[in-house]
Structure 1
Amino acid sequence: MRTHMVRTGLALGALAALTAATAPVSASARQAEPPPVLVDCLWHAQVRPAEFILACGDGNSRLVSLHWSRWDERAATAEGVNMVNDCKPYCAAGRFHDYAVTVRLDKPQTWKKDPKLRQYTRMTLTYENTRPERLAQTVVYPLWS
């Protein structure tokens, strides 16, 4: 009888361990994953950066004073300023102008450089009032990886 109770206990313990191992990942375990990142011009992963260069080649367009209200597994949203050089008469002699902008990041995918991380792959800028010449009120950019 005692042997039967020990075997039953072992079988129930094994069943409990197997159930725990094959159960779906809980919400708290998913939250332990690092949030998606924004990859900058130097291939650094950033979370909630205060600034971000859009024109990596010459720095003539950058986001500054970013205040993030959302940063999660699906999207990120910030208010800030897009500083854009008018390049008149040419970029070295141009003036920077500031434009209030809402920034949205989305479409996170696995980052090729570090497959343990996911990166946002699309940025949408929506200009609040005025906007740079030749740009629409809303502009969508694919982000590099």
Structure 2
Amino acid sequence: MRGWGAGTAVLIGAGAVLASAALPAAAVEKAPVERSRAVVVVDCARNPQVRPGSYMIACGDGNNALASLHWSQWNRSGAVGAGRNLVNDCIPACSSGHFHSYPVSVRLDRARPWAGHHGRSHFTRLSVTYTSARPPHAPRTETFDV
């Protein structure tokens, strides 16, 4: 190999390209490119979830969570579902309060790249709309950054 110049290296490289072009595509095909993965919602433990059946809204104290979730749509533009919002009334204090269940519609949107997870996006906004009864002083729709 000693004594080969740059011109020889170029010829060898060009020969390899030409030889691979003559082979059937299956013989030179690289590993399949990973298909785009579904957009996820990230839970309190920083785990990706797709169409979760439940979702903790109040990660710090657990006093607000979604349950019995059923999703009718889940794509890059957004996710739409329905379920129950379990809310602690915190009366007389959150540690001794009671949970109440309210029917809600749920929307996830504002998909953004998920830092540190190449090629993966996550929803960054959650909207919860009460469809009938709601907690005292709660607006009809609440929006959370997730």
Whether TM exceeds 0.5 here: the answer is yes
Confirm whether residue 63 of structure 1 aligns to residue 66 of structure 2.
Answer: yes
Question: C-alpha displacement at 1:133, in angstroms?
Answer: 2.1
User: Could you tell me whether the CA contact under 8 Å between 2:36 and 2:119 is conserved in 1?
Assistant: no
Number of the residue aligned with 2:87: 84
TM-score using structure 1 length: 0.76
Query: For 2:133, which of 119, 130, 138 is the aligned residue?
Result: 130
Number of the residue aligned with 1:21: none
Q: How big is the alpha-carbon RMSD for the aligned residues of Structure 1 and Structure 2?
A: 2.0
Further displaced range: 129-138 or 89-98: 129-138
The alignment of Structure 1 onto Structure 2 pairs a total of residues equal to 118
Confirm whether residue 72 of structure 1 aligns to residue 75 of structure 2.
Answer: yes
Q: Distance in 2 between matches of 1:92 and 1:106?
A: 32
Number of the residue aligned with 2:28: none
Number of the residue aligned with 1:96: 99
User: Could you tell me whether the CA contact under 8 Å between 2:66 and 2:85 is conserved in 1?
Assistant: yes
Amino acid across the alignment from 1:141: F
Q: Secondary structure at the match of 2:95?
A: helix
User: Could you tell me whether the CA contact under 8 Å between 2:41 and 2:123 is conserved in 1?
Assistant: yes
Number of the residue aligned with 1:111: 114
Question: C-alpha displacement at 1:43, in angstroms?
Answer: 0.2
Number of the residue aligned with 1:45: 48
Q: Which runs of 5+ in 1 are unaligned?
A: 1-9, 14-28
Q: Distance in 1 between matches of 2:118 and 2:84?
A: 31
CA deviations 1:87-119 (Å, max 9, x no partner) are: 000011100000000000001000113132100
Amino acid across the alignment from 1:117: R
- The runs of at least 4 consecutive aligned structure 1 residues that moved more than 2 Å come to none
Q: Distance in 1 between matches of 2:129 and 2:73?
A: 16
